[in-house]
Amino acid sequence: MEVLGVVLILVIVVGSVILHELAHGVVAYWLGDHTAKDAGRLTLNPIKHIDPYMSILVPVILYLLKAPVFGGAKPVPINSRNLKWREWGMALVAVAGPVTNFLIAFIFFLIGHFTGLLYGAGGEVLEFIFSKFVYINLGFMLFNLIPIPPLDGSRVLYAISPDKFRTVLMSIERYGIIIIYVLILLFGKVFSQLMVNGMNGIWDFFRFIVGVR
């Protein structure tokens, strides 16, 4: 099951990050920026989106370590100067990714719940697929909502922040991903626990919606 699990995790991760990035590009296009379209990123073609490190290596390592699985893809190019409503337009573009992951998780939960596939009715493999689609997409959503540049949460924080704080956010943009990795390395257990608690909390919310107590 370990080898099959890795393969399935990769399929789930790649499919999820493609839809995440596609959502960014589509919303940007709706708001007037054609940069992603011109770059050929408004497509489901995985070759256009996959990052070997974030889309493959990191999710596989996290899965094998039995840690919350998250990852990413090549960022969709966005020119915020072309967007309607400028910083608020950029915030909408940013939120589109996590919202997409939330919807994927919710849809797979609903299908899995009402068919019983989430509880083993279709066998171990289908239960694994449906549960991982839910949890991994919730992980993507929560991770991307961290308000540290260049993650999506920082774009929302930028839109609501005063000018002085926006300057701070812009100054750490180039170092943001390094800061995130350092924080994960230093506080890995705390980070994992917070992620797990968040995912389980949303899972319980889904169960509440369908009437499961």
Active site residues: 21
> Which amino acid, one-letter code, is at 4?
L
In angstroms, rounded to a whole number, what is the distance separating the alpha carbons of residues 13 and 9? 6
For residue 44, the tally of other CB atoms under 10 A from its CB is 10
Q: Check if the beta carbon of residue 138 is closer than 8 Å to that of residue 203.
A: yes
| Distance from the Cα of residue 123 to its chain's centroid | 27
Burial class (CB in 10 A: 0-12, 13-18, 19+), 176: middle
First to last CA, the chain: 31
**How would you class 15 by CB atoms within 10 Å of its CB: exposed for 0-12, middle for 13-18, buried for 19 or more?**
middle
